[in-house]
Structure 1
Amino acid sequence: MNALPPNEALVHLQSPDGSRATVLLHGGHLVSWIPAGGQEQLYLSPQSRFGAGASVRGGVPVIFPQFAEQGPGPRHGLARNRPWQVVQQDRGRDDALLVLRLQDDEATRAAWPHAFALELTVRLTAQQLDLELAVDNLGDQPFDFQAALHSYWRVDALTHTVVQGLQGCRYQDQVAGGAEGVQHSSRLELLGQGPIDRIVHEVPGGLGLTEMGPPPARRLALAFEGFEDAVVWNPGPQHGLSDLPADGWQHFVCLEAAQIQRRIHLPAGESWVARQSARCV
């Protein structure tokens, strides 16, 4: 399990079959997922910052209502460094469930002037992690937003890791200033020779993340529902990030469900829901 400061407010989940997860109330931030009989699947930087106002490096940050600097508010929005509340925690015959909620207040409205509520549902079964993000417009005016589940998947060696399922998809290459491209190969190899930062559009419902080797060390099958985009990101060896070890880039890849290109227009009183599932194969 990833190491966390002892004073952090967090929730532990464990399903009857032994799969485990840990969620910080700060940011509604999933920081650990260990399938039954398996190993840690998420990367959390040992140099990550915690506490009020901090943005945790690793796990699954909730991105809302803007992606990166694509809006007037703070980078990646306001949800990832606000306190969330537990509204439900259950354990069934073969699963464990947690629901967290974030609602607007005076501080959020100073950064983004809308009435809203977010609910993040975390569900564990033996080999699968399901994340559902729901957005409610509680105001009397519509609003537009972007969203993502910015997942840092742990790998032993980035240079032996490939992403599968993006063949034929258009993408924006942020490293190349937003240049458009098309993924022609059935496998995107993460060679680690430099940063990779792609926003991939109209992603199919299923993707694969595989560590190659004799035999493969691990394979994750990812399924998206309601999210139209995906992001593939790694900062590369010259990352210069103060909250990431010099060699930390070698041990994760961000492959995340996202809604970026087409902002969601949510009328007053309406809701939007999207999901990301990860299964160990």
Structure 2
Amino acid sequence: MDHSSADGEQTAAFETIKDKNGIDQVILRQARGASVRISLHGGQVLSWKNDRGEELLFTSSKAIFKPPTAVRGGIPICFPQFGNRGSLEQHGFARNRMWRIDDNPPPLQSSEMDTDANVDLLFKPSDEDLKKWPHGFEFRLRVALVTEGSLILVPRIRNINCKPFSFSIAFHTYLAISDISEVRVEGVETLDYLDNLFDRERFTEQGDALTFESEVDRVYLSSSDVVAVFDHQKKRTFLIKKEGLPDIVVWNPWDKKAKAIGDLGDEDYKHMLCVDGAAIEKPITLKPGEEWTGRLELTVLASV
């Protein structure tokens, strides 16, 4: 982690600021100009810009930036569950809690993560969290910008309990797109998926690519490690590469659902698409002392 400026001329690779509610945010800048902004509320990536300063993540026009609500946009972290279950809030509590900067994280195996623009965050459950979900854990997250401007998230979850526990996880990535009707998703063809619009009934994808003309809310199971989102109007392609996150959630609320969501503008659905690296169908189980590591890499390429 580099808190200093490079060569004394460029802006610091790592900077902390406070938002209007006094919550710490971290800004990472890569030498060519790409940047990412992360809030310590939820450990949530709020902004990711390419080297031309173009925003690549969507944020709702009605987003609420005040805790305890997670911001509608960016990359909220859904943990230890995805959806609604039991006494936990929807999508779990990690996205609604304060994280902290981890100044002394255990080393990562992957040497390519030694970039000059990264930050390590740490979340531990409070006593209140442990009452609702009685499992001791440490959730570490490294957020990094690599040379080409790709955004990499490396989550690590360790069981510090004396008994096993299981969890689900999703990085609920809101991609900024030109127009939902101009977008297609490749890499999900022939996959089975759970359709949340049909009470999680299981279907098989029949199309060569997924396009959008109505609400979509699906969990594609055991997907390939690379999924591509083509935005024809903006002539760019998002590549979503993942490890340890076998499933892919694809969600767009369309017009009626968008009007029913209080912190989403009525027309916002046209300019957003959620494509999440996730582990949902088969929860991850950790024995005492065991650690799980995942990896999500988001890259943007120019396309014709």
TM-score scaled to structure 2, two decimals? 0.85
Size of the aligned set, in residue pairs, is 272
- Rounded to whole Å, the distance in 1 between the matches of 2:179 and 2:27 is 28
Query: The residue matched to 1:237 in structure 2 has which SS?
Result: helix
2:197 equivalent in structure 1: 175
CA distance in 2, matches of 1:10, 1:140: 34
Q: Distance in 2 between matches of 1:5 and 1:157?
A: 30
Specify the alignment match of 1:210 in structure 2: 230
Cα distance between partner residues in 2 of 1:47 and 1:32 = 16
Partner residue in 1 for 2:274: 254
Equivalent residue letter for 1:6: K
The answer to whether the aligner puts 1:190 opposite 2:204 as a matched pair is no
Deviations 1:185-212 (A, max 9, x none): 2210022xx3110011010011100112
1:26 match: secondary structure? coil
**Equivalent residue runs for 1:216-255 within 5 Å:** 217-239=235-257, 240-255=260-275
What is the distance in 2 between the residues matched to 1:190 and 1:127? 28
Matching residue's letter, 2:84: E
Within 1, Cα distance between the matches of 2:100 and 2:114? Answer: 25
Check if 1:136 corresponds to 2:151: no
Judge which range, 220-229 or 29-38, deviates more: 29-38
Structure 1 SS opposite 2:294: strand
Matched, 1:109 2:130: yes
Greater alpha carbon shift after TM alignment, 75-84 vs 5-14: 5-14
Structure 2 vs 1, CA of residues 227 and 94 (structure 1 numbering), >3 Å: closer, same or farther?
closer
CA-to-partner distance for each residue in 1:63-116, whole Å, 9 max, x for gaps? 110111145411100100000001149xx9964111110012212112211111
Once the two structures are superposed, residues 214-267 of structure 1 have per-residue CA deviations (whole angstroms, 9 ceiling, x without a partner) of xx5211111010111110001110121010011011110000100000011110
Kept in 2, the 8 Å contact 1:16–1:94? The answer is no
Cα offsets for 1:23-52 (capped at 9, x unmatched): 010000000001222511101113112233
Pick the structure with more strand per residue. Answer: 1
Aligned mates of 2:272, 2:85 — CA distance in 1: 24
Question: Aligned to 1:123, what secondary structure does the other structure show?
Answer: strand
Alignment-derived partner of residue 21 in structure 1:
36
Do the aligned partners of 1:142 and 1:268 also contact (CA within 8 Å) in 2?
yes
Q: Is the 8 A contact 2:115 2:144 kept in 1?
A: no
1:56 aligns with 2:71: yes
> 2 CA distance for matches of 1:30 and 1:190?
26
User: Where does structure 1 lack aligned partners over 5 or more consecutive residues?
Assistant: none
**What is the letter of the counterpart of residue 178 of structure 1?**
R
Alignment partners' CA distance in 2, 1:41 and 1:70: 32
One-letter identity of the residue aligned with 2:125: D
**Cα displacement (A) at 1:9:** 2.1
Identity %: 29
Counterpart secondary structure, 1:107: helix
Q: Does 1:32 align with 2:47?
A: yes
Aligned equivalents of 1:73, 1:225: Cα separation in 2: 27
Residue matched to 2:58: 43
2-side partners of 1:101 and 1:230: how far apart? 25
Does structure 1 residue 119 correspond to structure 2 residue 140? yes
**Which 4+ runs in 1 deviate beyond 4 A?**
92-95
Larger deviation: 258-267 or 173-182?
A: 173-182
| Partner SS state of residue 238, structure 1 | helix
Note the residue ranges of structure 2 that are not aligned, 5 or more in a row: 1-17, 105-112
Change (3 A) 1:155 1:277: same
Does residue 145 (structure 1) correspond to residue 159 (structure 2)? The answer is no
Is the CA contact (8 Å cut-off) linking 2:35 and 2:145 kept in structure 1? yes
Closer/same/farther in 2, CA of residues 71 and 164 from structure 1, 3 Å limit: farther
Q: 1:196 to 1:266 in 2, by over 3 A?
A: same
Give the whole-Å Cα distance in 1 for the aligned partners of 2:235 and 2:103.
Answer: 35
